[in-house]
Homo-oligomer: A and B are copies of this chain.
Amino acid sequence: MVLDPFIASLGDIPHSRDAAALRAKSADFSWFSPIMSAALAGRMAELVVAPRSEAEVIRVAAACARHRVPLVARGAGTGNFGQAVPLAGGAVVEMLGLEKILWKKPWGVRAQAGIRLGALDEELRKGGRELRMHPSTKRLATLGGFVGGGHAGVGTVNWGILRDRGNILGLKIITIEETPRALELRGDDVNLVHHAYGVNGLVTEVELPLAPAYEWLDTIVLFDDFARAAEFGMALATSDGILKKLVSVHAWPIPGFFKPLNLPEGKAAALLMIGAETREAFDALVRDFAGEIAMCVPEAGLYEYTWGHTTMHALRADRSLTYLVCIFPREDMLGAIKRIHGRLGEEAYLHLEYKRFNGYVTAEGVPLFKYRGFEQMTRLYKAFEAEGARIANAHTFLLQNGGMKDLDAAQIAFKRLVDPHLLMNPGKVAGLDDLPGGISGAALEASQLPASGWAY
């Protein structure tokens, strides 16, 4: 692609064609999946551009539209699903320059999309507030990236998932047109953009509701037995009177991957954030389940062993591991977890994140296993689904095949409205902007894994 006229039109907006920068800014954490890794190999931007203001974002959007240059919005690149990897070259638009907090209200905040969640949360906590939820990558991840491709995280055990009404109050996008428009979406409309992996306009501002910043204690409870740990997790997650922000349960050997925590051999571990004020009630619950409190200290980043970070620590310890992502069924959830653990526990090490989802508490399962190829992956998908778990395919970069977002007619119409030239990471939305020649190899196989999805 001849980028010179495009580059000329960027004027003084910082940009780079440096090879190292292009490599760095074309990658995210999709290397967690050996399949997605292979499917995305060699996908690279041709230019990185870093607008410093909304006005510059608008200029970038206009230039992309005028010159028909594909573009990918990039926050910190902490996603696991290829959100930040350019499938069709073009420009990476790095949003980190837009980092202002625009206003704070008693229970809400509006900020620019490029602000890091950690910085935002720190600022909020000065006023006794905090984000309702955040990914385990909070320190690095950006607000826009989280809303664009995240769906849950630390805090979801209280507030439900990001998609649940009330968890995103509003957002602003810039359309990719020769004369870009700024659109404010509110109410249910925010979900046209949320979890669309950045293909529906450049998000410049996000408005979120806030949670009270309780005094959290990073807490680890050990159990002889994983089944007991899972029961305890459910009991804690449904103990409405006990303050908690994180309920993350791990079968051995996962706790062994958390080297700095130095946890004892063979035990199942619950990694928790609980509120100091209800500590005594928590202790009583731990006694009921014969747990052993191995740690209970003022907040110090324990969440960086949970959610996506669990996978990262596991991969650090054993590069041959990979994972799947499922949600356990509402009915007989603990039964399903125990049966799967009993049958497959030697192969697939269970990692559970308790969360509210569709108004009730359930566990997201992120089992870790040594990757042995598609057949094994297919077999595991089917084994989990046979127990009523629903799988979100974490190994495909195709938006629909991930299985967490239905792209219905309204979504497609909206996509055409905000990105009429289909420039936002083309190749992401199957059937609409397929790459020339379509997908093949690992990408094709990954898209065919039998994932039921969970309609995120």
Contacts and interface: CB of A to CB of B under 8 A. Distances in A.
Interface of A: 105-108, 128, 132, 158-160, 164-167, 169-170, 186-188, 209-212, 214-215, 235, 237-243, 275-278, 280-285, 356, 358-361
Given A165-B285, A285-B165, A361-B359, A186 B280 contact: yes
Given A209-B278, A212-B212, A359-B361, A241 B107 contact: no
Contact of A128 (B128, B283, B359, B360): B128
Copies of this protein in the complex: 2
Given A107-B277, A128-B128, A212-B212, A188 B284 contact: yes
Contacts of A285: 165
A239 B161 CA distance: 10
22 contacts: A107-B215, A107-B275, A158-B240, A159-B240, A159-B241, A160-B240, A164-B239, A164-B241, A165-B284, A166-B281, A169-B277, A169-B280, A186-B280, A187-B280, A187-B281, A187-B283, A188-B281, A210-B277, A211-B212, A238-B359, A238-B360, A360-B360
Contacts of A165: 239, 241-242, 278, 281-282, 284-285
Contacts of A276: 107
Nearest to A356: B240
Nearest to A275: B107
A241 B167 CA distance: 5
Closest 8 CB pairs of A and B: A238-B359, A166-B241, A160-B240, A166-B281, A166-B278, A165-B281, A164-B241, A212-B212
Contacts of A359: 235, 237-240, 361
A2 to B, nearest CB: 45
A281 B207 CA distance: 13
Interface of A is mostly: mixed
A364 to B, nearest CB: 15
Nearest to A133: B241
A283 B169 CA distance: 12
A280 B170 CA distance: 10
Given A165-B239, A169-B278, 15 more contacts: A106-B277, A107-B215, A128-B128, A132-B241, A158-B240, A164-B241, A165-B242, A186-B280, A187-B281, A188-B281, A209-B241, A209-B243, A212-B212, A238-B360, A359-B361
B278 A240 contact: no
A173 to B, nearest CB: 17
A283 B188 CA distance: 10
A356 B361 CA distance: 12
Q: Among A108, A280, A282, which residue has the most Cβ atoms of chain B within 10 A?
A: A280
Contact of A277 (B187, B209, B275): B209
A155 B320 CA distance: 49
Nearest to A331: B331
Nearest to A129: B212
Contacts of A159: 240-241
